[in-house]
Amino acid sequence: MRIEPSGQACGATVTGVDLAGDLDAALIGAIRAAWLEHLVLAFPDQPLDDDGLERFTQAFGSFGEDPFIAPLPGRRHVLEVRRNADETTPLFAETWHSDWSFLDAPPAATLLHGRVIPPVGGDTLFANQYAAYAALADDLKAQIEGRSAWHSAARGYAPDGMYGDGDQKAGRSMAIRPSVDARKRRLQPMVRTHPETGRKALFVNPGYTVGVDGLAEEADWALLVQLFQHQIEERFLYRHAWAQGMLVMWDNRCLLHRATGGYEGHARVLHRTTVAG
């Protein structure tokens, strides 16, 4: 197994492994160690089917919960992230977020396997939240240490949200299932200690964080906007370019990510699983 760091704020490419082959304890241990170090791992040229994707996912833990998006027919845990060539609905997942941070136990990992990759565009951006927390001014650290924030999926998945009833009528190709349940709110620590590395990471995000517990609305939004602007500064970013057959896995406990466009007129299809947190 060979690991080539991206040279950016996180991320590495892993070659010399066959993820459809023998996933013995030594190999999975080495991959986990690399994942915890680099936060995002890309495995080029992995012709996995959905059975293989599920098998590799389960080597890192049980499947995570995936609300508001229906799985592929015949699958309980594989979702399809799809955009058709002629689609005109808003780009899916373009807002910075940590996957399902509004759940009681957000997923530890997300895995995406490239099935149809456009010849241009479609990069995924990642933001290292270990680095974002470490670079915070001392007064900001003091303001958020020990404090919790409210997370909700309402902006995206409520019936009146970005991917709500109107979006479905506009011809969204993904199997999104909006629900009033998306309006539920859950508290999460604003500074999260990673359960495996013990490192502190900033744990708010523009996609799902909607308020700060114990602060008046005007004060909490001012604080959140300051944090949102800080946590996606260029010095914390890794831009990932996709290729056909590439598998990417990342750590939701210490990263934000978002999709980018630039592939109008081309289809893009990825299959997705999560590992429970």
Structure-block tokens of residue 95: 């807002």
Ordered per-residue pLDDT tens for the chain, 277 residues:
999 999 999 999 999 999 999 999 999 999 999 999 999 999 999 999 999 999 999 999 999 999 999 999 999 999 999 999 999 999 999 999 999 999 999 999 999 999 999 999 999 999 999 999 999 999 999 999 999 999 999 999 999 999 999 988 888 999 999 999 999 999 999 999 999 999 999 999 999 999 999 999 889 999 999 999 999 999 999 999 999 999 999 999 999 999 999 999 999 999 999 999 9
**pLDDT for 217:** 85
Question: What is d(CA 130, CA 215) in angstroms, rounded to the nearest whole number?
Answer: 25
Overall pTM > 0.85 = yes
144 Ramachandran zone, left/alpha/beta (phi>0; psi -120 to 50): alpha
- Residue 169's pLDDT is 86
Residues 6+ apart with CB under 8 A from 129: 201, 202, 203, 231, 236, 254, 255, 256
Q: Which residues, in sequence order, are bridge partners of residue 192?
A: 201
CA distance 26 to 44: 20
Backbone angles phi, psi at 8, to 5 degrees: -105, -160
- pLDDT score at 206: 98
- Asked whether 110 and 272 are in contact (CB, 8 A), the reply is yes
Give the Cα separation of 33 and 27 in Å (integer). 10
What phi and psi values does residue 225 have, to the nearest 5 degrees?
Answer: -60, -40
Q: Please give the domain boundaries of the chain with CATH numbers for all domains.
A: 2-275 (3.60.130.10)
